[in-house]
Amino acid sequence: MSLITLLISILFLAMILGGILLLKRSAKKFILTDQQLKKIKARNKQLAQEELNDDK
């Protein structure tokens, strides 16, 4: 491999790694209230029940 090919490869890998680390750093967790969690769980339970009824 020539020197230029090696430098371009290293630069390319560094850009990919930098992008991944930037995404990881900027990702935010959802802080949900108890009421929101209850709604989500109820909706998931309802969807699961509907899927079971559709399969029959």
- Residue ranges per domain, the chain? 3-55
Cα angle for residues 21, 25, 26 (degrees, 5° grid)? 120
* pLDDT in the model for residue 45: 95
The alpha carbons of the chain give a radius of gyration, in whole angstroms, of 23
The model's pTM: 0.48
In tens, the pLDDT along 13-56 reads 999 999 999 998 888 777 889 999 999 999 999 999 988 888 76
Q: Which residues contact 32 (CB under 8 A, 6 or more apart)?
A: 40
DSSP conformational letter for 14: H
For residue 8, pLDDT over 80 is answered with yes
